[in-house]
Amino acid sequence: MNGLIYSTMQAVLVMIGLIGICLWLKHKGIIAEQHRPLFGKLVTDFALPAMIFYTLAAQTPSIEILVAVLVMMAAVICHLGLAYLIGRFFHLKRPQMGAFMLVAAFGSSATLGYALITQIFSGNAGAVSDAVMISELGVGVPLFLIGVMIAMYFGGSEEGSAWSSLRSYLLSPIFIAVIAGCVASYFLAGVKNPVWDGILSILHMVSLSLVVFVALGIALMLKWIPLKKIAVLASVTVVLTLILQPLIALYISGFLNLSIVDTDILVLETAMPSGMIAAVLSDRYGCDGELASVLVIATYIFSIFTLPFIMMFSP
């Protein structure tokens, strides 16, 4: 447990520190508000598609891990529905609704999650590999297929923009990367070829820039919002993301009799703070990026206390 607390604090502080560096760059005028759309596009049209294609193309999903992936997807989809109902209860406007749904449902399993799982299962290479598949397929696919559509729909100016949002998404680099990555995984997984290996290496290097572009985007989005205006919404987000979602995953895992290792991975990954990429997607497609960024930071801070608590319920 001490190792978990240390790893959690270290990973959280690294991400907050990176955002702090970007805020310093903003303070010095090296980056400015007018650069905000640029970093958003670099995330959604460049680094993120590269990461999606590289991750999907380089791995071969196994049947054994499929159930765990479906459990993760179920937890994410449940939270999208819950967040929507709560948003309606609070009469959130469309941009706020889209931002709240994304932040509440999609966690940072691919950043903090990997760091913690590598620490906890350091002697179990299979567990780390399972964690990658559960995260990329269980969180990544719903985020790229459903999350982006939600951001486009609620970020649109017209109430009836569902079809235009769908059309825009089907032509987006993110969707193309998902389809191309799945096709490449089926036909090229395990292929040893210098050209193919070189392409994957280039895409991997590009994908490493994602966390920096996301931090820059968050820094440009962050603005002071009086606590009394968002205290209730932030509290709801913390409970949904850091407490309720992992408990739902734990219940479904027990119902399906998943292995202890896969259950631990699911609980840990669903207990992650909100993904920073959710805030960037919110801002990129017209939702309330400023609200999303503040909610993300709130979940990062509280995760230091909630993660050890949640892991006590894990088998």
Q: Which positions ≥6 away from 223 have C-beta within 8 Å?
A: 290
| Phi, psi values for residue 107, rounded to 5° | -95, 175
For residue 174, give its domain range.
Answer: 2-28+37-311
| Res. 289: pLDDT tops 90 | no
What confidence tens digit (pLDDT) does each residue in 117-151 have? 666 666 665 666 677 678 777 887 788 788 888 98
| Res. 238: pLDDT tops 80 | yes
| Res. 57: pLDDT tops 90 | no
CB-based contacts of 152-158 (< 8 A; 24+ apart in sequence): 152/285, 152/286, 153/98, 154/94, 154/95, 154/97, 154/98, 154/99, 154/101, 154/286, 154/287, 155/94, 155/95, 155/98, 155/282, 155/285, 155/286, 155/287, 156/94, 156/286, 157/286
Please name the amino acid found at residue 30. I
Structure confidence at residue 137 (pLDDT): 76
| Res. 28: pLDDT tops 80 | yes
The pLDDT mean for the chain works out to 81
Structure confidence at residue 99 (pLDDT): 94
| Res. 58: pLDDT tops 70 | yes
Q: Report the domain count for the chain.
A: 1
CA atoms within a 13 Å half-sphere pointing along the CA-CB vector of 139: 30
The whole-angstrom separation of Cα 52 and Cα 56 is: 6
> Domain with 306 in it: what CATH number?
1.20.1530.20
Contact of 153 with 165, CB cutoff 8 Å:
yes
Please report which confidence band the pLDDT of residue 185 belongs to, taking 50, 70 and 90 as the band edges: confident
What confidence tens digit (pLDDT) does each residue in 81-115 have? 999 999 999 999 999 999 999 999 988 776 566 65
DSSP 33: G
Contact of 155 with 285, CB cutoff 8 Å:
yes
Q: Which residues of 5-36 are buried (b: 16+ CB within 10 A; e: fewer)?
A: eebbeebbeebeebbeebbebbeeeebeeebb
Most confident of 99-103, 163-167, 302-306, 309-313: 99-103
